[in-house]
Amino acid sequence: MQIEKKKQILQKALTLGENYTSEKTRFIQFDERIDLTQEWCFALACCKSKQKDLALTAIKKINRLLHFQNGEGAFPEYLHDYPHAYSTKAGLKIFLCLAQIIAHMKPILQPSTYAPWENACKRLEDCLQKQVKTLIEKRWLACAQHYRQGERGQFFSQKEDLEVYGFSSAAEWGEHYCFLQAAFPSSATALAEIASFYHPRFGYMGPMNGEKEREGKRLFTHMDLFFRPSLEGVEDPLCLEGALLISLPEIPKRRESYKDWKIQETKEHVRLTSLDALHVIGEKSRFFFSEKGCRFLGDQATFPVVVSDPKLPFVAKAFWNYAKETQVHVNGKRSSLFRLGDVISIVSSAFSIEMVWKLASGSGDFTGHLLRGSRPQELAPEGRRDSMLAIRSLRHQPETTLLVSFKIQ
């Protein structure tokens, strides 16, 4: 299964690289920009294909790309930035690509061919050692160096990489894994734990969700690349980074029961089911993640939303996909306002939910609004693409707590 999945990911990188190569520029172009990281990933994919014609394509591309290394040894993220700008993140990915390319091609090439590659790799490494500043950048560089020096299998701490670097989402950790697995094959055990939260239809649904959207559609992530059963029809540039993979874990059995899903605290947001269902915003909120929605104490879920910042316009929000046919009622009647204790019912083609907001501790005066808005993970710059429930505080004591109960069908 792991081998077949790796072949599928590699083939997708090759297919996209070939399909999106411009006839005019001979560079990969998903838009008007030329991303050098994509070029290096495609060159690596060609090297890993073990096909003579693709290997020759890779050699030509690599020699062409080396011209865009500046005098200090750095590479820009986009071609039009050369030679006046560079990207540390892009440089780290290019360094890992170049290290893998040399490892794959050195045994079958003449020294005169790969010697310029090794020189460029050393110059880039020296440059990155001066550029890296954050903990995560230093970790990525160390992983790539371990691989280049043939030191795979060094000690790996799952706790360190999941907690120390403060990832805001599993998608970010997926990108981090591209570097980890190059140095530490045992890191696959940590990814396997995360993989058990991946749903083939809804995507990743576990702790540290942190997903992003554009124009109402969830963005493709490394988690999708690693664990989606099929990549057929996927045309995302991120697929090119699949060439970086050396090892993938076997996908464990997906968690079916809500008792198998972990409780996760977050200060950002959470998806209770799919993008067609409810999103809840709140500070210090406690949730269950489940394929079928929030399931706790039967058909109800209750958790506190702590109200602590009087400057926030809304102390709690909930979002769901906008649709004309969706019916929203307050105590059985159409309304755009509600008070604590009112029953809000939302019925759409995707789900049916009732919720009641109450004051659990402290005191205050709150008003609820039903309006249009965009959930915070939406990346599109304009437009109110979702339906939104928002609770405004007119006045309240510090550390007041609201309690919301759900009944999801």
Pairwise CA distance, residues 387 & 377, whole Å = 14
Q: Give the pLDDT score at 206.
A: 56
Pairwise CA distance, residues 70 & 38, whole Å = 18
Nearest residue to 4 (alpha-carbon basis) of 241, 231, 244: 231
Tens of pLDDT, residue by residue over 16-33, are 999 999 999 999 999 899
State the average pLDDT over residues 148-162: 65
State the average pLDDT over residues 7-12: 95
The mean predicted confidence, pLDDT, of the chain is: 79
If DSSP states are collapsed to H, E and C, what string results for 334-393?
Answer: CCCEECCCCEEEEECCCCEEEEEEEEEECCEEEEEEEEEECCCCECCCCCCCEEEEEEEE
Looking only at the bridges linking them, the beta strands covering 400-408 and 203-204 are: unpaired
State the average pLDDT over residues 230-259: 78
Q: Give the pLDDT score at 396.
A: 79
pLDDT over 70 (residue 294) = no
Q: What are phi and psi of 370, to 5 degrees?
A: -115, 115
Q: What are phi and psi of 364, to 5 degrees?
A: 170, 175
Report yes or no: 258 and 290 within 8 Å, Cβ to Cβ: yes
- Residues with Cβ < 8 Å from 189, sequence gap 6 or more? 158, 249
Q: Give the pLDDT score at 282.
A: 43
